[in-house]
């Protein structure tokens, strides 16, 4: 039978990363393609202990239905945490717990955008969010991402000419580039969005994973009326498998997100929410984060060193101060086809998986000669060996 | 700040049941308003044991990212279970694990329906699904629900005149009525949908909770080309708080649902999926279901007896052979306003919560003099006391 799918999903493809990850299921493949937290950074033992407590003490809370807004004690803890960072104002803000930040970003688009309305995103940007926006058939519009954040002149041009509902940004250690937006650009972008009446969706999954440089305040701290939607997650600091994220925004926006979450999945898994809550109560989050940052600092500097040692000298790459990713740009003149050829050969012939930049472009016709490398999932040995292999291939294809 | 929400959500309201449930948070209120499984029917101790095993043996599977399709061992078990009931054909069907059946139903609408296209539903029907459909701005169209299922002549009239993409049915112990669709009507409905090219969405959350009468085969068993989408859940037989459901449909439909689930929440909580899988492997599901049915049989017959004993004799009510709900229809001539007045007085003045039928109507202007009673959540004592109170009020308002 031939099925006629809705226009909004008929063009939607499964993430290109998934295709790469198929190769990665081969245990011989060294994967720099994932986006998972470092295995050694997961507090598995603490979570196991907490889980025992939850199921012994409050099984009926864990196993019965909960409210859509989220487990009240966790919501309160998240509000406290965000307030301490200037990201929650009880006068107009509210918080809802979501099934990961993915749901936070998807529902933000759903409540604000009609089909055909414009969402602006950094170009390149996180494929999961881009596909979520595409699934509502919006007009997705990219703004060039520079080392210190988007080109704000370009942003203003778009705000002037289009009906922009949402500006989607990952200001800290962006996925895929690892770039961080400067404070000046945060302020400028906020002012432009206020001026033209666009809502900012500030996605901050990696902000806690800064191991170098100085913290830069969230755009949400500039917000005095709830027009910035801030989304966060426990995926990178506790566990992605538990699927717990959150959104903080104006009460009116949260009210609509609640209604949409109710029809999406009723509520987030109770056990997961209780786990996150008890972790925050029982352990010192800052101490925990210090430990994580050490792991990530080590892995980043290891990979950066190996890239420097092995890769063709014509390849440029970002030097992130946090997060999970390094963005490598192949030499000038390399075409999109040659870049994907490099990625294909790497995984097919040499069993090293990386993600081609095309996965993160806004339009399918956008050209890119960049690739994304992840340093959190592989072991030290895999980082060394994988970089050696990629280095050899890069020199073969692009010269010393 | 004034926010401009998308057309699809601007009219969407939080479930009316939620308003009633606000009263229910008062511990003195006897609630017949919920839809939760009986607390004594949750296998909490077994699940606690299994959880310990999971976190001791496979913490990295539980805490890391999983694939969108679902935990492979659970998918295989679900396929086996459905195949044994004639609901899965490996030639064309596929299965995806979802975050509850709520997500299964929501994503089915998302992948198939453009805004303005028609979804047919039983009138009345489950508010969670109706609101999910509304959130995609479809044309929602009700068909009169009779004791043995929808009026198939009415269905044909609609199929003839409208572009119907989806026909949503809860054939077993329907929510809110408790009615079950006869085999004849299942066949007739299936034939009509095939003839007019509409896809059936068969939602079967309560099918395993039959405690009287004979099982009637699923509509999905008639399907020879994957044009019936079947959704199921572990919420009513294991635990709703873990949020695990599934969809079985043609591979092409599942492929699109996978893409939409990926942007919705990446994947369902790993621990929840592993819990469901290990329960199916470790315990005899049929033995477990026998135990549940005893609990539900007892509670249903208790409530039916108390209704008979106490309620105004002019009130009619369904006598379900399974599920969680009884549907009471107030005497002829009672208006929608008098019905809601009855519900409001019951909870406000006498602290017994029931859900007014208006929560389940297709259009906000539909008239109804029915109310939904849930017998699974209250204790025996609460059923007896609550029915006494409702009975007294019903006689006061509508006569002996």
Size of interface A-B (CB pairs under 8 A): 236
Among the partner-chain residues B3, B34, B225, the one whose CB lies closest to the CB of A250 is B3
CB contacts of B22 in chain A (<8 Å) are none
A272 and B268 within 8 Å at the Cβ level: the answer is: no
How far is it, in rounded angstroms, from Cα A351 to Cα A340? 15
ipTM: 0.96
Name the one residue in this structure whose structure tokens are 């310990």: B52
Q: What is the pLDDT of residues A83-113, one digit of tens each?
A: 999 999 999 999 999 999 999 999 999 999 9
- Pick the closest to residue B144 from B154, B136, B134 (CA basis): B154
Mean pLDDT, residues B365-378: 96
* Closest by Cα among B330, B360, B335 to B33: B360
Whether residue B102 and residue A66 make contact (CB cut-off 8 A), yes or no, is no
pLDDT higher than 80, residue A167: yes
d(CA B354, CA B47): 31
Query: Which alpha helices (DSSP H) does B135-205 contain, by range?
Result: 152-161, 183-196
Residue A388 tokens read as 């050696």
Instruction: Report, as an integer, the average pLDDT of B269-293.
Output: 97
* CA angle (B256, B260, B264) in 5-degree steps: 165
CA gap B39, B381 in Å, rounded: 14
For chain A, the 3-state helix, strand and coil shares in percent, each to the nearest 5, are: 50, 15, 35
Quickly count: other Cβ atoms within 10 Å of residue A163's Cβ.
13
Interface test with B, best of A2, A6, A74 (most B CBs within 10 A): A6
Give the position of tokens 């918080």.
A95
What's the rounded Cα separation, in Å, for the pair B208 and B204?
Answer: 9
Rounded (5°) CA angle A167-A172-A175: 75
Q: Is the pLDDT of residue B23 over 80?
A: no
Which strands sit side by side in the sheet containing B325-329, from one edge to the other?
B316-317, B325-329, B370-374, B355-356
Distance between CA atoms of residues A168 and B36, nearest Å: 38
The tens digit of pLDDT for each residue in A54-85 reads: 999 999 999 999 999 999 999 999 999 999 99
The CATH classification number of B58-282 equals: 3.40.640.10
CATH 3.90.1150.10 matches B7-43+287-398: yes
Contact A64 B55 (CB under 8 A): no
> What's the pLDDT at B260?
97
Distance (Å, whole) CA B237 – CA A78: 32
Nearest CB to B263 within list A62, A106, A241: A106
Task: Identify the pLDDT of residue B227.
Answer: 85
| pLDDT tens-digit map of A3-62 | 899 999 988 877 666 666 667 678 899 999 988 999 899 999 999 999 999 999 999 999
Question: Of A13, A241, A262, which has the smallest distance from its Cβ to B270's Cβ?
Answer: A241
* Equal CATH topology for B7-43+287-398 and B58-282: no
pLDDT of residue A400: 87
B114 and A55 within 8 Å at the Cβ level: the answer is no
CA-nearest residue of chain A to B113?
A6
pLDDT of residue B380: 97
**What is d(CA A344, CA A352) in angstroms, rounded to the nearest whole number?**
9
Asked whether the predicted pLDDT for residue A210 surpasses 90, the reply is yes
Q: Quick one: pLDDT at residue A2? A: 83
Q: Closest residue of A to B40, CA-based?
A: A60
Contact flag B110-A8 (C-beta cutoff 8 Å)? yes
Which helix (H) or strand (E) segment holds residue A391: the answer is helix A380-398
Residue A122's beta-bridge partner residues? Answer: A143
Mean pLDDT of A247-251: 97
Does residue A124 have a cis bond before it (omega within 30 degrees)? yes
pTM of the model: 0.96
For residue B244, give every residue at least 6 positions away whose Cβ sits within 8 Å of its Cβ, in sequence order, or none.
Answer: B74, B97, B98, B99, B100, B233, B234, B235, B238, B268, B269, B272, B273, B275, B276
The verdict on a CB contact (< 8 Å) between B39 and A263 is no
pLDDT band per the 50, 70, 90 thresholds, residue A226:
confident
Domain locations along chain B: 7-43+287-398, 58-282
| pLDDT tens profile A270-314 | 999 999 999 999 999 999 999 999 999 999 999 999 999 999 999
A385, with CB counted inside 10 A (0-12, 13-18, 19+), is: middle
Length of chain A: 400
Within 8 A of B229 by CB-CB distance, chain A residues are none
Q: What is d(CA A273, CA A238) in angstroms, rounded to the nearest whole number?
A: 12
Question: What pLDDT score was predicted for residue B237?
Answer: 96
Give the pLDDT of residue A12: 87
- Residue A30 · residue A386 · CB < 8 Å: yes
Can you state the angle between helices A251-265 and B100-112, rounded to 10 degrees? 100
Average pLDDT, chain B: 95
Q: Which residues of A touch B113 (CB under 8 A)?
A: 6
Instruction: Give the pLDDT band (50/70/90) at residue B2.
Output: confident
Q: Does 1.20.58.1690 match the CATH number of domain A44-282?
A: no
Nearest one of A71, A53, A101, A63 to A268, comparing CA atoms: A71
Q: What is the mean pLDDT of residues B379-394?
A: 98
């Amino acid at each position: 039978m031939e099925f006629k799918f809705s226009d909004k999903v008929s063009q939607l493809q499964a993430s290109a990363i998934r295709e790469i990850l198929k190769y990665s299921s081969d245990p011989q493949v060294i994967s720099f393609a994932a986006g998972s937290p470092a295995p050694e950074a997961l507090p598995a033992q603490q979570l196991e202990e907490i889980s025992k407590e939850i199921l012994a003490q409050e099984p009926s809370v864990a196993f019965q239905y909960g409210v859509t807004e989220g487990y009240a004690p966790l919501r309160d803890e998240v509000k406290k945490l965000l307030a301490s960072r200037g990201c929650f104002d009880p006068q107009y803000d509210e918080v809802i717990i979501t099934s990961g930040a993915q749901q936070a970003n998807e529902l933000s688009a759903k409540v604000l955008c009609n089909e055909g309305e414009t969402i602006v995103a950094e170009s390149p940007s996180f494929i999961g969010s881009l596909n979520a926006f595409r699934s509502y058939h919006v007009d997705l519009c990219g703004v060039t991402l520079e080392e210190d954040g988007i080109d704000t002149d370009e942003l203003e041009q778009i705000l002037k000419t289009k009906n922009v509902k949402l500006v989607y940004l990952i200001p800290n250690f962006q996925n895929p580039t690892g770039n961080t937006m400067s404070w000046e650009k945060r302020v400028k972008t906020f002012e432009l969005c206020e001026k033209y009446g666009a809502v900012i969706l500030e996605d901050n999954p990696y902000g806690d994973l800064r191991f170098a440089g100085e913290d830069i305040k969230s755009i949400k701290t500039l917000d005095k009326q709830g027009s910035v939607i801030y989304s966060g997650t426990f995926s990178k600091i506790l566990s992605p498998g538990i699927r717990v994220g959150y959104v903080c925004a104006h009460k009116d926006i949260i009210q609509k997100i609640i209604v949409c979450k109710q029809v999406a999945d009723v509520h987030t898994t109770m056990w997961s929410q209780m786990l996150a809550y008890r972790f925050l109560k029982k352990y010192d989050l800052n101490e925990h984060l210090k430990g994580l940052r050490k792991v990530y600092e080590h892995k980043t500097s290891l990979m950066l060193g190996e890239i420097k040692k092995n890769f063709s000298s014509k390849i440029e790459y970002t030097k992130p101060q946090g997060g999970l990713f390094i963005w490598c740009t192949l030499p000038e003149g390399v075409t999109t086809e040659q870049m994907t050829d490099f990625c294909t050969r790497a995984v097919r012939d040499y069993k090293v998986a990386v993600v081609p930049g095309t996965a993160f472009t806004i339009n399918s016709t956008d050209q890119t000669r960049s690739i994304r490398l992840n340093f959190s999932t592989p072991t030290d040995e895999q980082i060394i060996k994988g970089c050696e292999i990629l280095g050899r291939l890069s020199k073969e294809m692009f010269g010393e």
